[in-house]
């Protein structure tokens, strides 16, 4: 329950930030994708059915503020969670560097996946002009990820939650 | 229990089930009023006040930063004068902001009178959280009389339509989003087509026949045939016409009349004008 409340608070703040900042920063690529960072942290450090449902809920919350097809971000965030979880179970260490790499590729893959699911795979051929901005957004998100992970770790310690995943 | 197949694979099994639910939501769509739309509406309702607070906070921080930079250039002035200057500047900025807002609302009011439709004004408090789609968040919702599907306008022209709603907030799908489509026509040649957005940004006129006389600089307006946008509203001007490609239709790009990045207030048509009902007879 504490994990759900903690991530719910971070999600509300993250979504409000991502939605409000474009009014100041006209180049959207400079705004990190905070929700993917949160989902990657869940996948790397919290293994269970509840964190998977939390990742889905965070995606569905994103659907409320972005895009025109409800379920798209929920799908993508669940995918990012599965990949993060699989990486975490196969690697000996799941530190901030690994998390940043997963965030980088997660941002690009989820954006292209969103376009493919919403408009069909043929629409991917029209995404050439998006890729530059998308790579910058992925880079900014990867740079921001370790800071968000440490903020989450500090919040989890305060809430008495485990900071690292239990090895299964 | 802990050693069982279900327990060992609980993460993947749960995630798989959630992926199937997501795909079901994507394929069937969620309509306002559906059970599945309630969490979405609740999220929008929860996040919109925080969003509005963030917007005010960031605008305030930006204003303070600007004031501070100005003050660095007048170091020789004493502290009292600097504080006074900052206060006067802050008041002036606030008054200027009110003046701009007043002007925008006045223009929207004029547009409302011209339309002859019932409409309400709303403030824009946010934009698409992912940046992949082109949507806006408004600080008005169903408690202000808004409903999904209503047309959203600015004094420069058509903005989009409401796609999601909660009691005190709503989301607008802009006309340049790649999932948006509206019926429009060339005001000079009367050539009709569907105005749609593109994935890589921009607006096009689809299904315009090759024999049609469409020229650069022509004005595109709404036809009213889609039953959402009143007839004759400005959509944009023709930026380019491509006749060389294969296929039956022209490749027409439109320069939108509205600068979607600069929108602060919009007008929502809550009850279309009576002549919208007659538009289909054209």
SS in 3 state form for A112-150? HHHHHHHHCHHHHHHCHHHHHHHHHHHHHHHHHHHHHHH
Number of alpha helices (DSSP H) and beta strands (DSSP E) in chain A: 6, 0
% of chain A surpassing 90 pLDDT = 26
Q: Identify the burial level of A1 via C-beta atoms within 10 angstroms of its C-beta, where 0-12 means exposed, 13-18 middle and 19 or more buried.
A: exposed
% of chain A surpassing 70 pLDDT = 94
- Looking at chain A from residue 54 to 113, which residues have their Cβ under 8 Å from any Cβ of chain B? 55-56, 59-75, 78-79, 81-82, 85, 111
Angstroms from B88 CA to nearest CA on chain A: 24
Contacts of A78 (CB under 8 A, 6+ apart): A52, A55, A56, A59, B15, B18, B19, B22
Is the per-residue pLDDT at A142 higher than 90?
yes
Residue of B11, B21, B58, B265 to mutate for A, most A C-beta atoms under 10 A: B11
Contacts of B56 (CB under 8 A, 6+ apart): none
State mean pLDDT over A136-146.
92
What is chain B's Cα-based Rg? Answer: 24
Please report, for residues A51, A61, A96, A139, the alpha-carbon distance to residue A142 in angstroms, rounded to integers and kept in the order given: 21, 22, 10, 5
C-alpha of B255 from chain center? 16
Which residue is it, tokens 């260490």? A93
Angstroms from A154 CA to nearest CA on chain B: 23
Output the pLDDT for position B244: 75
Residues in B touching A111 (Cβ below 8 Å): 130, 132
Q: What's the whole-number average pLDDT of chain A?
A: 84
Output the pLDDT for position B281: 43
Output the pLDDT for position B162: 93
Confidence of residue A26 (pLDDT cuts 50, 70, 90): low
- In A, minimum Cα distance to B38 occurs at A64
Map residue B270 onto helix, strand or coil: strand
DSSP state of A1: -
pTM: 0.69
- Residues of chain B scoring pLDDT < 50: 276-282
Confidence of residue A40 (pLDDT cuts 50, 70, 90): very high
State mean pLDDT over A125-143.
84
What are the φ/ψ torsions at residue B73 (nearest 5 degrees)? Answer: -85, -5
């Amino acid at each position: 329950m504490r994990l759900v409340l903690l991530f719910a608070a971070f999600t509300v703040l993250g979504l409000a930030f991502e939605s409000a900042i474009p009014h100041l920063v006209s180049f959207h690529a400079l705004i990190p994708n905070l929700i993917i960072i949160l989902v990657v942290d869940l996948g790397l450090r919290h293994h269970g059915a509840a964190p998977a449902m939390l990742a889905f809920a965070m995606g569905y919350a994103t659907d409320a503020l972005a895009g025109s097809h409800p379920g798209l971000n929920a799908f993508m965030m669940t995918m990012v969670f599965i990949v993060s979880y699989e990486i975490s179970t196969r690697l000996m260490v799941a530190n901030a560097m690994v998390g940043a790499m997963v965030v980088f590729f997660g941002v690009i893959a989820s954006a292209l996946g969103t376009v493919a699911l919403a408009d069909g795979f043929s629409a991917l051929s029209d995404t050439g002009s998006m890729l530059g901005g998308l790579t910058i957004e992925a880079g900014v998100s990867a740079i921001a990820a370790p800071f968000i992970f440490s903020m989450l770790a500090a919040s989890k310690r305060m809430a008495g939650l485990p900071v690292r995943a239990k090895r299964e | 229990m802990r050693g069982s197949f279900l327990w060992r694979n609980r993460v993947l099994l749960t995630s798989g089930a959630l992926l199937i639910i997501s795909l079901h939501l994507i394929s069937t769509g969620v309509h306002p009023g559906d059970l599945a739309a309630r969490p979405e509406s609740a999220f929008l309702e929860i996040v919109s006040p925080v969003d509005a607070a963030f917007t005010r906070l960031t605008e305030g921080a930006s204003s303070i930063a600007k004031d501070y930079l100005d003050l660095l250039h007048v170091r020789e002035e004493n502290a009292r004068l600097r504080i006074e200057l900052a206060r006067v500047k802050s008041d002036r900025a606030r008054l200027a902001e009110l003046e701009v807002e007043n002007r925008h609302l006045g223009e929207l009011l004029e547009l409302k009178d011209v339309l002859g439709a019932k409409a309400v004004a709303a403030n824009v408090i946010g934009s698409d959280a992912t940046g992949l789609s082109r949507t806006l968040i408004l600080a008005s919702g169903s408690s202000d009389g808004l409903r999904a599907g209503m047309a959203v306008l600015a004094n420069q022209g058509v903005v989009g339509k409401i796609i999601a709603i909660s009691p005190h907030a709503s989301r607008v799908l802009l006309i340049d989003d790649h999932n948006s489509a509206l019926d429009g026509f060339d005001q000079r040649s009367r050539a009709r087509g569907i105005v749609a957005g593109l994935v890589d940004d921009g607006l096009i006129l689809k299904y315009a026949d090759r024999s049609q006389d469409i020229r650069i600089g022509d004005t595109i307006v709404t036809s009213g045939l889609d039953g959402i946008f009143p007839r004759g509203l400005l959509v944009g001007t023709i930026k380019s016409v491509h006749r060389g490609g294969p296929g039956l239709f022209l490749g027409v790009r439109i320069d939108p009349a509205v600068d979607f990045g600069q929108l602060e207030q919009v007008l929502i048509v809550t009850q279309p004008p009576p002549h919208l009902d007659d538009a289909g007879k054209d």
